[in-house]
Amino acid sequence: MSIYSYRHVISNERTCYWMLHHLRWPKKVSCPRCQSTTSWTMRDQGRPKYRCKNCRYHYSLLTGTELHGTRLPLTKWVLAAALFSHGISSMGLSREIEVSQRIAWKMLQKFRAAIQSSQILRKLRGSVEVDETYIGGRTKGKRGRGAGHKAIVIGFRTRTGKVRSMVVESIKTKQMQKLLKQQVAQGARLYTDEYSIYHPVRKWGFKHRRIKHSKWFVRGQTHTQGIEGYWGHLKPTLVGRHRSVSPKHLPGYLAEADVKHNLGLDTDFTDLILRCLLSK
């Protein structure tokens, strides 16, 4: 959806409030502590506050969400989410919604954290390409495996096009085994290159096809071009939009890129971000 389509919502605080209310509780208000849907309603400066009839907990729209305790108007949050969904830097956001760059940066971090924690981590199945890459750092010259000061990122891509990428501290066989067990269902067919960390994957319960990059890159279905293509698209996006991405924040940026990629351009991403913010 375009930012223009949010113009009515962001024109006033009350409309924003009720839109978010509907996103959090499409049917009935429910207690964040015990999930009971019976409550007393009280008013506080026009906004309802609820008291759970089951556990007596007091709560309101933002209780227990990422937006709890925010001093910014909700209109700014919704506009920021819409801008974020189209890709924006903290500098750009600070100009558009008239907050300091520090606050804009914190808002973007909140969006990324919300997406990361809400990602449904179902294990990947079927045919899965696995590859690693190196992102960030300022070391010139050294490239590829063993390049210093860069974050190591492991990526998975199913042949249906879903991607998942994550930062790892080091690249060792033991760590690879743990990661694969977390992310990929047993019996899946893995496509990797000849790197030694992938050698024991059959022992770990996966089928395995190896690409001999020294001889050929594609042989029938045996290739890792999907995930390599994703890296090719990801890196310029990260470098182009944000001057530098610190390793500490890289997981958030990766989650943002993965979700955007997996959902495709047609999905209403703003809506999704707001849901993530409210679903804590």
Give the nearest distance from C-beta 187 to Zn ion in angstroms. 42
Residue with Cβ nearer Zn ion (9 or 61): 61
Out of 25, 57, 105, 204, the only residue in the binding site for Zn ion (CB under 5 A) is 57
Residues 47 and 59 sit within 8 Å (Cβ to Cβ): no
Secondary element (H or E) of residue 189: strand 189-192
Whole-angstrom distance, CA of residue 135 vs CA of residue 119: 22
According to the binding rule CB under 5 A, does residue 55 interact with Zn ion? yes
Whole-angstrom distance, CA of residue 136 vs CA of residue 150: 5
According to the binding rule CB under 5 A, does residue 52 interact with Zn ion? yes
According to the binding rule CB under 5 A, does residue 54 interact with Zn ion? yes
Residues 152 and 254 sit within 8 Å (Cβ to Cβ): no
Q: In terms of DSSP H, where are the helices of 65-215?
A: 74-85, 90-97, 101-118, 173-183
Give the nearest distance from C-beta 51 to Zn ion in angstroms. 9
Residue of 103, 111, 57 lying closest to 86 (CA atoms): 111
Candidates 5-13, 28-36, 135-143, 167-175: pick the segment binding Zn ion (CB under 5 A).
28-36
According to the binding rule CB under 5 A, does residue 262 interact with Zn ion? no
Out of 1, 15, 18, 36, the only residue in the binding site for Zn ion (CB under 5 A) is 36
Give the nearest distance from C-beta 27 to Zn ion in angstroms. 17
Residue of 268, 260, 106 lying closest to 93 (CA atoms): 106
Residues 131 and 192 sit within 8 Å (Cβ to Cβ): yes
Residue with Cβ nearer Zn ion (58 or 209): 58
Give the nearest distance from C-beta 233 to Zn ion in angstroms. 45
Residue with Cβ nearer Zn ion (57 or 204): 57
Binding site for Zn ion (CB under 5 A): 31, 33-34, 36, 52, 54-55, 57
